[in-house]
Every structure is written in structure tokens, then in C-alpha cells.
Amino acid sequence: MGDFIRLLPEHIANQIAAGEVIQRPASVVKELIENSVDAGASSIELHIKDSGKTLIHVVDNGKGMSPLDAELCFQRHATSKIQKAEDLFHLKSKGFRGEALSSIVAIAYVELKTRQKDAETGTKVVIEGSEIKLKEECVCPVGTSFKVKNLFFNVPARRNFLKKDSTEFRHIQEEFERIALAHPDIRFIFTHNGKELLQLQPGVLKKRIANVLGENQLDRLIPVEESTDIVKIKGFVLKPEYSRKTRGDQFFFVNNRFFKSSYFHHAVQRAFENLIPAKNHPGYFLFFEVDPSKIDVNVHPTKTEIKFEDERSIYAILTTAVKLSLGKYNIAPSLDFDVDTTFDIPLSDPNREVKVPKINVDENYNPFHVSKTKLKPSSFTGAKQDNFSSAINKQGFDKEHSNSVDWEEFYSIEDLSDSEQLQLIKEEEREEGTNQFIIKGNLLFLPSRSGLMVIHYKRAIEQIVYEELQQRFIHQPIHSQSVLFPFEKELTNKELECWRENEKLLNQLGFKGEIKDHQLILSAIPSVLGSENVLDCIDDIISTLFHKDIDKGDIAHYLILSIAKSASKEEISLKDKEAVEGLVNRLFQCQEHNHTSSGLKIIETIHLDEIYKNFKN
Ligand code: ADP
Ligand code: MG
């Protein structure tokens, strides 16, 4: 045998290290802007092209770099921010690892121009795949400009791994917002493909929040302020009525650094207890000031978690501070939220605007109307329709479509696989009928040949609606129902953007509406949705579009799933035999009736044998 260990060539080592720090265009944006903040800039511009894939350009008016530093800064572990290990415990800067620039130049083409205040000329450095291509004196303003082009040009695997432009853009937007909110005293400009998206003037936090997230935030904010030896807390929480089912406006900063913490989130949530529905998340922008030696930011560069020495005390202080603020601003301590009133104005507000109750005109629409034909012809058109389900459904199949084929001749039960046989047996099970049934919670119990069949009927409804919409959607737009009083929903800029991006599809699915002053005003909704579930459904759709990385081709599936889920929340009456029969029939007409499209079990069969087993002794 011999020696096998080799040292990796420098450029490969750099590329590997780069992968740790720079995962996507948004990571570059974060690192460059943080460097500008660290350099004491009072003005920072971010210009990107093609969601950062082609160009990320950050310009600041900070302290700039000397000609030597302009070259040194690209080396691994080159930093001006710490000198000795002890400095780690007094960090005031965002960066300190000296990894960002060396990582970026390993995987992109970078052009730097920088000048210090007293210098007459600046320095220009061009560097590509860690190799310096050019270094020269240049004329440029005081401060620093970094252009990062063709990210991952030499790591195709990474480049291919990037998500579609709108997703990458959203990540950039998110990073930008976090820094812009953390530094309201800095002027920011943000452009994409030459179009100005934001121009933020320096000012107070409240104004910054409004400028970044929409002017409508202004009268939603309740100030929070608390000062103790352990922590100083400052910032705002959103009034309880603006809490959301989905996470969105939750911002924690410690010493002006954004971080995430489910522990502190819980602390805020506790302060909102009884004021918002249990599953909702309150919105907040909370700034902690803590002695830097009491926190550990020495975590992975891409992580946003931070360790706090006095975590428990801060938790308690935070809950109390938020509670106090809510009390001060007259938010009643206990409202009854048993009913879902997420979007109502709280009862305690005397100036509350009285809204006309929203009614869906189509009150008579019953998605569980029993259809006369037991099987929709359309369910036979799908390529996935297999011999097996055709065989089972033969009795119910409309003669007109069956061409009088004797299906028995084609398929005998022996030809079927185990799971298919089981399925067939289940199908036969239900033929016991729906004369007797019991409903407990969301479960429907029916006698079957060999025992008992239990159907989770909410899930059954979800699946029925899902498949029916899916089928119809392929052929034509889904039937939508005009509403007498339009539904209104406030959305943030980003959410509105999401909506616009997918508007055509949403129209096809039955949502019709317009956008006015951050309000989404819906004049028509899919007719399977009841009025009480529309806003919930929109919430779900927005969070799906916004938070999940979905392939374009899958968007329709997810949206239909959202609609189906919301439709399943509808109160339906399964009081009589017809209603139960209708439900069961439609469930068994589904191509997949054992599980919902989100993978949850719908039917369970309990055999008499199993029950008898329990009575053996
Ligand atoms: P870190 O920020 O961890 O020190 P970076 O690789 O991000 O490491 O930057 C390396 C060094 O380059 C910084 O420590 C700083 O001295 C210098 N530098 C980077 N960006 C700027 C900037 N915009 N203005 C002035 N100096 C900068
Ligand atoms: Mg840095």
C-alpha cells in the first residue's frame, strides 16, 4: 500500500469553503451589505440583475480600503474586525470571520473599486475564481463598490441548484429587509433590472417599518420598551387583530443583528395569549440590546440562531414587556376567540369600524349533492385509471360509457395484486349500505360486511373536492361564484406580488378580484368555498406561494389542495342517510379514496375478528 492523503489544491479548497458561506445570491447580498454597514456607511445601494444570478452590485459611502487592503480582503481569514481571540467576546461588527469575500471570489467574477477619505485616488481590483486579473489606480468616490457577476460560473452543480428567479429574488428581498429594518439610520436604495424598488431615507424605526413593509403598518404598531440590566428591549408588536396563521412579520434583532428564535417567539406568543387565536402568530419587530459578551454569535455564518447566556431571564422580561404594552394600549386582556375572528376588529376598540357581514350569495350550493350517475365519465379518461378501479366500479358505471362490456370477463379477482384485492374487498365492504351510521367528531362509523368502516369525513371531503377540482381544472376554468359583498384582505407588498405573479392561475381556479391600496378585493370565489373559509383559504394560498419552494408545474396542485382543505372545514350536515350516502359515493368515486392528496389516511376498516379478539377472556 502507499500514501493516499493529498492536500486539496487551493482553488478547490476555496470552492468547498465558499459553498458553506455562499449558498445563493441572497447570501452574497447579505455579506456585502453587512460589510458596508461594518464600514460605517450612511448610504448603501443594492442593484441586482436577474435576481442576482447575473449581477449583484453593492455601493457604499463607508470608510473604504487602502490599496493593500483592497487586495488582502479577498484572502481567506482576512479581517480587520478581530485581532485576538478575546475580541470575539466584544463583537460589535456583523462580520469577523474574514470568509465572505474569499468565498465570493472563489465562485464568481468580482470587481472592486474603493477609496478612503483622505486618498486622492482609489483602487480597482478585478478577480475571477480567486485569481487577481487586474489591480490599478482608479477614480472613484469615497467608499466601496463591489460588483459580483455570474455567480457559481465555475460550479455548475451549484448554479443548477438555484431556484427559479422569483424564489431567489424573494430570498434577496428578505435579507435586504432584515438589514434595512436593523438600520433605520442608513439610507438604502434597492433596484432590480434597473427598476427602483425601494428608496429608504434615514429616520426612526417606525418610519422604516412603514417604508419597508407598507404604510398601512403605521397604525398597527404598538410600541414596546423595557430596560433592565440584562437586556434592553425596544420595538413594536402588531396589534392582535393583525396576527396571522402564517409566519411572516416576525423580526428579532440583537445588537442590530437579525436572528431567529422559536424560544423568544414563544415568549411573545404567551403575552398574546387569549388575545389571538391559539394557532396564530403575532407580528413583531423587537430589538434587544445585550452585552456582546453575553451572547454567542460564533455560529455558522449562514445560521440565524444566536445563543444567549441569560435566555430564561430574557424570556420572562420579554413576555412581561409585551404584556405591559398590550395593556397600556388598551387591548382587552381576554376576548373570546373560540370562534375564528382572526380578521375582526377587537371588541375593545370603540372606534371600531362596523363592517357589513360578508355573505356568499350561493347559499344553496351543496358540494355534497348526491349525483345520479355513480361514476363520472371523466374519471375514466385519466391515463392513470387502471384496470382495477375500472373493474370495481363496473356496476356503477353508466351504460352509455361502458358500451355494455362485460367487465367480469376481463378481470377476475385473482389477477389483482394483494393491495388491489384488499381495495376491492373494501369496496365491497361498503355495500352494506348507509342506513345506519354514527358520527363522532370528524369520524363517520358505518357497518360493513366484516365489521366496521370508519371514515374521517373531513378528509374525505378534502379529497373529493381535490379530485373534482383537479378533474375540472384540466378541462376548463373552475366555476366561480360572485359575492355580493367583496372579501377584503390586507396583504403586504411581497404578498401582493405573489398574488400578482399567480393571478392567471388563481382566476382559473375561481378567484376574481383586484388590488387596491394593499387590499386584495375579491369579487368572486371558487363556488366550493363557503364565505366563512375564504379568508383562511387565501391565507393558506399566500403562505403556500410564499414560503414553499414550488416548481411551476406544481403550483396548481398546491392551490387546489388549499381550496380543498378550506372547503373541508365547511360545516356540513351529515344528519340524514342521503347526505351520508352522497359523501360515501363520491369518496369511492375518487381515484384515490384511502388517502388525501396530502397523504393523510381517510378510511380504516375494523374487522369483527379484531373486535372479538378483545373479548377472548
Ligand atoms: P469579515 O467581514 O468577516 O471581516 P469579509 O471577507 O466580509 O470578512 O471582509 C474582509 C475584510 O474586507 C473586512 O474585515 C474589511 O476590513 C474589508 N471590507 C470588506 N468590505 C468592505 C467595505 N464595504 N468597506 C470597507 N472595508 C471592507
Ligand atoms: Mg463580512
Convert the pLDDT of each residue in 464-477 to its tens digit: 888 888 877 766 66
Most informative mutation of 46, 68, 73 for ligand 1 (most atoms within 8 A of CB): 73
The pLDDT assigned to 287 comes to: 97
Closest by CA to 108, choosing from 132, 127, 133, 134, is: 127
Residue 80, C-alpha cell as written in the block: 480587520
Ligand 1 atom nearest the C-alpha of 98 is 8
Sequence spans of domains, the chain: 10-200, 205-328, 371-617
Q: Mean pLDDT highest for which of 215-219, 479-483, 559-563, 584-588?
A: 559-563
Q: Give the contacts of 615 (CB within 8 A, at least 6 positions apart).
A: none
Task: For ligand 1, say whether the CB of 28 is within 6 Å of any of its atoms.
Answer: no
CB 546 within 8 A of CB 494: yes
Instruction: Tell me, yes or no, if the two domains 205-328 and 371-617 fold the same way.
Output: no
Q: The domain 371-617 belongs to what CATH superfamily?
A: MutL, C-terminal domain, regulatory subdomain (3.30.1370.100)
Task: For ligand 1, say whether the CB of 52 is within 6 Å of any of its atoms.
Answer: no
CB 113 within 8 A of CB 121: no
Closest by CA to 525, choosing from 331, 358, 289, 380, is: 358
Rounded distance between C-alpha atoms, residue 348 and residue 149, angstroms: 54
Residue 234 CA to ligand 2 center (angstroms) comes to 26
Strand 512-516 with 43-49, pairing: unpaired
Task: For ligand 1, say whether the CB of 144 is within 6 Å of any of its atoms.
Answer: yes
CB 25 within 8 A of CB 56: yes
Give yes or no for residue 414 having a pLDDT over 80.
Answer: no
Task: For ligand 1, say whether the CB of 540 is within 6 Å of any of its atoms.
Answer: no
Cα separations in angstroms, 412 against 18, 243, 379: 61, 57, 22
pTM of this structure: 0.60
State residue 562 phi and psi, 5-degree precision: -60, -45
Give domain 205-328's CATH architecture: 2-Layer Sandwich (3.30)
Closest by CA to 31, choosing from 100, 78, 110, is: 100
The pLDDT assigned to 176 comes to: 97
CB 271 within 8 A of CB 239: no
Residue 252, C-alpha cell as written in the block: 428579532
CB 461 within 8 A of CB 567: yes
Q: How many CB atoms are located within 10 Å of the residue 513 CB?
A: 22
Helix (H, G, I), strand (E, B) or coil at 453: strand
Ligand 1 atom nearest the C-alpha of 101 is 6
Q: How many CB atoms are located within 10 Å of the residue 578 CB?
A: 13
Nearest CA to ligand 1 atom 21: 35
Task: For ligand 1, say whether the CB of 35 is within 6 Å of any of its atoms.
Answer: yes
Q: How many CA atoms lie within 13 A of 538 on its CB side?
A: 28
Task: For ligand 1, say whether the CB of 507 is within 6 Å of any of its atoms.
Answer: no
* Residue 112 bridge partners (DSSP): 125, 146
Task: Label residue 123 by pLDDT band (50, 70, 90).
Answer: very high
- Which class for 346: exposed (0-12), middle (13-18), buried (19 or more C-beta within 10 A)? middle
Task: For ligand 1, say whether the CB of 76 is within 6 Å of any of its atoms.
Answer: no
pLDDT tens per residue across span 213-263? 888 888 899 999 999 999 999 999 999 988 888 787 899 999 999 999 989
Residue 35 CA to ligand 2 center (angstroms) comes to 5
Residue 92 CA to ligand 2 center (angstroms) comes to 12
Q: How many CA atoms lie within 13 A of 593 on its CB side?
A: 24
Q: The domain 10-200 belongs to what CATH superfamily?
A: Histidine kinase-like ATPase, C-terminal domain (3.30.565.10)
Residue 468 CA to ligand 1 center (angstroms) comes to 57
Torsion on CA atoms 498, 499, 504, 505, rounded to nearest 10: 80
Q: Give the contacts of 563 (CB within 8 A, at least 6 positions apart).
A: 465, 469, 509, 510, 526, 528, 529, 537, 541
Residue 147 CA to ligand 2 center (angstroms) comes to 15
Closest by CA to 286, choosing from 334, 238, 216, is: 238
Ligand 1 atom nearest the C-alpha of 96 is 3
The pLDDT assigned to 365 comes to: 35
Give yes or no for residue 388 having a pLDDT over 70.
Answer: no
